[in-house]
Structure 1
C-alpha cells in the first residue's frame, strides 16, 4: 500500500469495481497522489481528480514519473511567476522565498519551497513558522510537485493541511496568435493601469482589494490590464498580463467575464490580446495558474493549447 511519503509522486491504483459471479472486477487508475487519509486516497489524473475509498483498493504502488520538466525548469517558472506577483514583504531561507501581503492570495502569502533552504528540512519548516508567526499570519508553504515531495511528506507528519491542487499550465503563443481576430466582439483594450470597474470586477471574485493587492498588481515593470467593454461602456471581461523572467514568460492572471457575457468567447479573445502584447516584448510562451477543481476554466485553457507543466499544493499549518 501507499504511504505519506508517496504523496506528490506518480502512482498506479488497482481498484475493485464489482463482482460478476465468482470473478472480481478491477480498473486501474494512474496519476499523481495528492492526498492520502485513513479512509481515502486522491489522484490527479489526466481526466481530473479521482477520490478512491481505501476499502476499494486492491493494490497500489509508486511508479516511475512521467516525462516531466527538469527541476531547474520548474524552479525557473516558479520564480518568473513570483516576479509577476510580487509580495511587498519578503525574506529568504537560502533558495526558499518568504512572502507576505496582508493575506491577499495564497501566492503572495506563502513560502515558496524551491531550491535549498540552507538548513535541514525540519529547521527550515520551523523558520517558516517563526517568520509568519512574527507577522501574525498563519504559516503557508507553496510546495511544487513532485519537486517538493520531501517537503510535503514532512508537512504531512506535522499535520499541515492542503488547499486544492493548483495546476501550473503553459502554452506556446504561436497558435494563439495564429487564430483569426474576433471582429464580432468589442476590442480588448490594453492599458498600463486598471480602471475602477476593472478592480471592482476582480474584487467580486477575489474579495476586497487591500492596498497590498494594488501593490502586487502594479508592482511589475512590464504588465498590462485588459478591458473589454460593450457599446454602453459596461465591462464585459478583464485580465492582467505580465512579462517576467529571463525566459520572458507571459503570465496570465485574473481572467474574468461578466456572468451575462459568458460563453461568447471573450476569455479566448482577451488571452489573444495579451499574447499580441507579450509577443511584442519578446515572449514566446505563456503560463497561468488554475485550481484543478475549476473544470470550466481548465477546459477553456485546454482549448487555447495550455497543458499542465507542473502542480503545487499550498500547505497550511495547524491553527
Structure 2
C-alpha cells in the first residue's frame, strides 16, 4: 500500500488500495508508434503554473495522459473537479481511490478564472466518481458550467461525466445547465466490465447517453473506449452499434496503457492500421465524428474536434433539407 501526500490539501490519501492486492502484471514494452517525448516546452510550463496557482486538478496529470506535453504546450487542459480521490477503483485507471474530501465551494469560480487566464475557446471538464454524494456531484458540475458561462460566455463547454449510478434526477440537473458536449465513456466492451470496470454497468451507461438526447437533442453526445484489453473485433463493432442506437454523435478509440504493474495488463498493442479500420467502420455506421488512433484520448484535440463535429451536423442537416 502506497500513501501519497496531496500537494493541494496536504491530506493523506491512499493510491489504489484495492489495486495493491492485485498481483503484479507484466508491463509490455511500448511499440515505436506510441512513444512520446517528455514535456519541457515554455507553453507546458506556463499551463502548469496556471493550474497550480488556481489550486486545480487536471486529469492530464492524475491519469498520466501521454498527450500532456502536446496539449499543455497549446494551453489545453482537462480540469478534473470534485477533488482527486475517486470512490471507485477501476482496474485501468491511475486516479487515486479512497475517501474524498468535501466539495470546494470556490472550485467553480477557480475553474472559470483559469479558463479565462488560458484564453480557452473550448474547455473540457471531468471529475472523479463521487458515489458518496447524494447527487453524485451533478449540481457541482452544473455550477462549474454556469460559472464558465458567466466568465467567458464564448467558450464552448464539454463535460466528461461519471455514470451517476443510482442517483435519480442527477443527469437532468447536468443537462439543464446545457453543456455543448456531453461525454460519458463506456471504456470497454461488456465482456470486460467485471474485471476492468466492476463498479459500473454497461447498459446503464448506454441509457445515460441515450437519455441526454431525449432531454436535449441539441447537445452533442460522445463516448470513448480503450482497446488492447482483450476485446474481440466483433465486440467493438457491436459496441459501435449500441452507441448509434443511443444516438451518440462521436466515438473515440484509443490504446489502453497500463499505468502500473497493479493495473489490468495490456493484452495487445493495436496497430495504427487496425485503428484506421475502426475509424472507417465507425463512419459507415453513422457517427458524425470518429477519433481512432493509438494516442487518442477523450479530450485530445477536443476544441478542433468540436468545430468539426458542429460542421458535420450542419452538413448533415443541409443534406437532409436538400433531399426533402
- Shared fold per TM-score greater than 0.5: no
Which has more radius of gyration?
Answer: 1
Structure 1 length normalisation: TM-score? 0.28
Q: Which structure has more helix as a fraction of its residues?
A: 2
Task: Using CA pairs under 8 Å that are at least 6 residues apart, name the structure with larger relative contact order, 1 or 2.
Answer: 1
Q: Which structure has more strand as a fraction of its residues?
A: 1
Structure 2 length normalisation: TM-score? 0.28
